[in-house]
Amino acid sequence: MMDYIPISMIKEYTYCPRQAYLKIMIMKEPPTESMKYAKQVSNTENVIKSIREQGIEGEVSLEVPVKSAKLGIVGRVDAVVVNKNRAVIIEAKLNIGNKKKLYTRYSHVLAQATAYAMALEETMKVTVDKIIIINQEKETTITIRPTPNLRKWTERTIQDMRKHIQNQEPPPKTTNKAKCKACYFKDICPP
Ligand code: SF4
């Protein structure tokens, strides 16, 4: 049913697999990356400023479309800096706390950023060395490397998501009840 999974949905799936599944199955049209941009107005000036402050050299491109045929994912990265065959990805978020939180509570942002890195590598034939996540509220940045383990974890997430969508088989619910309280689907989410 869905050839290419929007990378924004990988983030949602990592946050709560069931929520992403319900969104995809209930919505007449799969959510697209343009919806992300309608909701999240990325602050271009801050992005450019952060790139300069980090001393990253290379050609800067904003809102870069990426696609991976290998992984079956598609999306649009906030900013990319390319220097020869190396690249850095910049993602702007409102507030994601510190690095520790990125690997725990905000792991959905980590999955999304890693998926962007892998899709960019296939699209532009570059190697992504770094991912910089800008915390727009606190005006700080977090730098991570797309390690083999992060890539494997993200690939497994994508495969799992695709399997559930193709088989029309609802994935598990989140175990974090706090997420359910604020969830749009809480009244229709089966046990
Ligand atoms: S109610 Fe809870 S388990 Fe169900 S989709 Fe929402 S967050 Fe996920």
Per-residue pLDDT tens digits for 53-69? 888 889 999 999 999 99
Q: What is the pLDDT of residues 115-153, one digit of tens each?
A: 999 999 999 999 999 999 988 787 888 999 999 999 999
Cα of 26 vs centre of ligand 1, distance in Å, is 14
Residue 7 has pLDDT above 60, yes or no: yes
Q: What is the mean pLDDT of the chain?
A: 88
What tokens appear for 89 in the block?
């990805």
SS3 of residue 45 by DSSP:
helix
Q: Please, which pLDDT band fits residue 43 given cuts at 50, 70 and 90?
A: low
At residue 37, what is the residue type?
Y
Percent of the chain with pLDDT over 90: 65
User: Which of 23, 177, 180, 188 should be mutated for ligand 1, with most atoms under 8 A from CB?
Assistant: 180
**Nearest atom of ligand 1 to the alpha carbon of 184:** 6
- Decide which of 84 and 46 is more confident: 84
Identify the residues whose C-beta falls under 6 Å from ligand 1.
Answer: 16, 18-19, 22, 173-174, 179-180, 183, 185-186, 189
11 Cα–ligand 1 center, Å: 14
pLDDT digits over 95-118, tens only? 788 889 999 999 999 999 999 999
Fold category of 5-181 in CATH: Lambda Exonuclease; Chain A (3.90.320)
Report the distance separating Cα 61 and Cα 108, nearest Å: 24
pLDDT at 1: 52
Q: Residue 36 pLDDT more than 70? A: no
Alpha carbon 14 to its chain centroid, in Å, reads 9
Spans of all domains in the chain: 5-181
> For a substitution probing ligand 1, which of 26, 179, 181 has the most ligand atoms within 8 Å of its CB?
179
pLDDT computed for residue 27 by the predictor: 66
Q: Which residue has the tokens 């969508």?
A: 165
